[in-house]
Amino acid sequence: MPLSPVPEQEADAAGERLSGNASPVSLASSASSSRNSETFSRSPDISEPNCRENSACLLEQTLNYSEEEDEDEEEAEDNQVEEWDTDLEIEKSTICYDPAGKARYLAICQAYGVVPISYFLRHMKDSELTVKHRGLSPKAAKALALSLTSNTSIVKLNLSDNGLDGNGAIAMAEMLKENCYISELDLSENRVGTKGAEALSAVLRENPVLVTVKLSGNEFNDRAGKYLADALVTNQKVEHLDLSHNMLGQPAGEALGVAMAENVGLKKLDLSWNNFRGQGAVAVAKGLGANIFLRVLDLSYNGFGNSGAAALGAALKSNNVLEELHIGNNCIALEGALALALGLKGNKNLRKLKMSRNPIQNEGCLGILKAIRVNPGAAMEFLDFSVRVGQKGKTSCRK
């Protein structure tokens, strides 16, 4: 049998009889009625038949409201976290990183109105760049030089036979004042002349990186030679210098002789195919005598003659550092060969002597051979006369 609801007054009276205070049920009902008065027109009475239904609806609404409130709070917290994460993120850069300078080179070429060198574009990240026989115009050379100013990859640069002339050499010289990575430079066969020699000599005074410099076939005259000689006096970094196939004569020889005596960096010097003769040749030989760093000296295809050979002989007496000496095609006759032999008697370091195509005759060959043989400390390993010595010479060589 279903239980009938207990009237509220009876419940309160029963509570008072038990404890002398108001019933807990009455207090709870009163508090609940006051809280829900704003939402409902009247509080549900537990004595009414539909009380349980109304209470269930109220409970469901309260739970739904609580769940929605929790979801709103969680969403607000998530949004706050997202805002914090966004603050910590690094903004994406819109600037493209161009370490090789390709974009810069293309922009420079466009500004100068020249066609970019495709080979350079493909190899501008390599350590060695060789651009030969291209016939670069002055503007193309300047565009290339401006791009190389900031290049950090290329350490060997070969621009031989491009017709750069003086203006192109000036552009390259300006580049080398800024670039501190290129250590080997080849500007051979570019006809840079005196103007180019002056610009390059300024670079040799300042650049602390260049080790190898090849300037062969650039129409250097005596004035150009003096510019370069002055730079060699102060330069201590360049180890290999090639000035072959130029027009350096007596004044240039005298200036270079002084530079050789004071230079402390050169290990290999190529002065072949020039016009050194007379006092110019003697000055170069004296410079060799005072130098204590040079290992290889090429003086072939000049006009040293007997006086120059005698000066070389005197230099070899005091110089015990030079290992290779090339003096082929220098118009050295018998007298000069015998004077050279005197120096070989006391030299203990020269390993290679090339003096082909000189009219030294059999006696000259024999004199040099005897000088080497009587020298107990001789280090000679290679000797080139390239002349007919006859049977007497062959017999002496066998001994």
In a domain, 80, yes or no: no
Q: Would you state the pLDDT for residue 101? A: 80
CB atoms within 10 A of CB 398: 6
In a domain, 316, yes or no: yes
Q: Would you state the pLDDT for residue 99? A: 65
Query: Do 173 and 148 meet the contact criterion of CB atoms below 8 Å apart?
Result: no
How far, in Å, CA of 349 to CA of 369, rounded? Answer: 16
Q: Using the Cα atoms of residue 298, residue 221, residue 179 and residue 232 in order, give the sign of their dihedral.
A: positive
Q: Would you state the pLDDT for residue 386? A: 85
In a domain, 64, yes or no: no
Residue 211 sits in a domain whose CATH number is 3.80.10.10
Q: Would you state the pLDDT for residue 127? A: 97
pLDDT by residue (tens digit) across 334-385? 999 999 999 999 999 999 999 999 999 999 999 999 999 999 999 999 999 9
Q: Quick one: which of 83, 209, 100, 189 has its CA closest to 150?
A: 100
In a domain, 390, yes or no: no
DSSP state at residue 154: -
In a domain, 358, yes or no: yes
Tokens matching residue 318:
């005091």
Q: What is the DSSP string of 65-102?
A: HHHHHHHHHHHHHHHHHHHHHHHHSPPPP-SPP-TT-H
Helix, strand, or coil here: 371?
helix
Helix, strand, or coil here: 271?
coil
In a domain, 29, yes or no: no
Strand-pairing partners, residue 325, are: 297, 353
Q: Would you state the pLDDT for residue 114? A: 95
List per-residue pLDDT tens for the chain, 399 residues long.
444 444 444 444 444 443 444 444 343 444 444 444 444 344 444 444 444 444 444 445 544 544 555 555 555 555 554 445 444 444 444 446 676 689 999 999 999 999 999 999 999 999 999 999 999 988 999 999 999 999 999 999 999 999 999 999 999 999 999 999 999 999 999 999 999 999 999 999 999 999 999 999 999 999 999 999 999 999 999 999 999 999 999 999 999 999 999 999 999 999 999 999 999 999 999 999 999 999 999 999 999 999 999 999 999 999 999 999 999 999 999 999 999 999 999 999 999 999 999 999 999 999 999 999 999 999 999 999 987 656 555 565 555
In a domain, 26, yes or no: no
pTM score: 0.75
Q: Would you state the pLDDT for residue 295? A: 98
How far, in Å, CA of 281 to CA of 275, rounded? Answer: 9
- Residue 376, domain extent: 102-384
In a domain, 8, yes or no: no
**Total domain count, the chain:** 1
How far, in Å, CA of 383 to CA of 285, rounded? Answer: 20
